[in-house]
Amino acid sequence: MSKKVIVIVKNEEIKKVTEKIFFNSSYEVQFFEEQKKALQIIYDEIPNLVVVEAITSPATELSIINTLKSDPLFVSMNVIAIVSPDFYTEEWKSFFVDDYIRINNLEIDFLMRINLSFERVERVMATSPLTKLPGNLVIQKEIQKRLDRKEVFALAYADLDNFKPFNDKYGFSRGDDVIKMLGRLILNIVRTEQPSGCFVGHIGGDDFVYIMDHEKIESATQKIINIFDNLIINFYDEEEITKGYIESVDREGKTRFYPIMTVSVGITSTLYRTFRHFSEMAEAASVMKSVAKKQEGKRYAIDRRRDI
């Protein structure tokens, strides 16, 4: 689907230049001289990008943009300002624009700056706000990229056991602290064990994935599990630590006992199997995670199935 761009420009010469730049692009572009008309369209259907010519009347143009960007509805909307050659960089700090380009650089850099602005927003929107780790979109792209290159790599899928009872007892804030701790722990160990070529992502909730070389991932997983066991008791009250479990009443009124949280990890690899799509590999890792949860003692399971 084409990205929608709205250009607000009063200067006829600048309009001609921008029209020429956009002519062969893949973007769906609408031009407006009047801000009121442009704003009607923006409110009806939020565009991906607004380009504002801020030379003719910069204070007016940019104050309206500030008002627009203050609305949470438009936080993810990109705004680029076209400014004069003598535009003072410090002035930019008072305007809620994502980028600016001087008019004398318009023909050279404009399209590149637009493309970069979209990439930047995609990276930000694809990041978990809680852990700051790459989210689902980036995870999918990373796995698919490696599959397309026919790389040999291992994928681990980790989540917490007995997280919901913990959340129910202690509240979401403490639950979020546990998730952040697990994210940092996985990231630190994976990076330490394999400084380059690794990847860590946060699917959401208490679900994480990490990618490493096949021969390194088992050792890293054991360390993650062991260190988590040592750290997690710091998040429980003394009473639960002493008992070794949380006591809770389910919907049927029955008393349930939930042990201290642990991590379960499922691992699969392209060393043994061929995957064409990221979802196939993610599903294989998820299946192994289910196997790990049913095992006694060892809390990770490695997929050793082979292609026939």
Out of 3.30.565.10, 3.40.50.2300, 3.20.20.140, 3.40.33.10, which CATH number does the structure's domain 4-125 have? 3.40.50.2300
pLDDT value at position 170?
A: 93
Token representation of residue 303: 């997929």
Q: How large is the average pLDDT for residues 271-285?
A: 96
Q: How large is the average pLDDT for residues 34-38?
A: 86
Provide the sign of the torsion angle of the four alpha carbons 209, 213, 214, 219, taken in this order.
Answer: negative
- Which residues partner with 29 through β-bridges? 5
If one compares 282 and 89, the residue with the highest pLDDT of the two is 282
pTM of the predicted model over 0.75:
no
pLDDT value at position 289?
A: 97
pLDDT value at position 234?
A: 97
Of 63-67, 142-146, 224-228, the poorest mean pLDDT is in 63-67
Q: What is the residue extent of each domain of the chain? A: 4-125, 136-302
pLDDT value at position 58?
A: 64
Residues in contact with 112: Cβ distance below 8 Å, sequence separation at least 6, in sequence order: none
Query: Chain-wide mean pLDDT for the chain?
Result: 89
pLDDT value at position 89?
A: 56
Q: What is the pLDDT of residues 85-124, one digit of tens each?
A: 887 655 555 677 788 888 888 888 888 989 888 887 777 6
Q: How large is the average pLDDT for residues 187-204?
A: 95
Contact 235, 169 (CB under 8 A): no
pLDDT value at position 139?
A: 93
CATH code for the structural domain at 136-302: 3.30.70.270
Q: What percent of the chain has pLDDT over 70?
A: 93
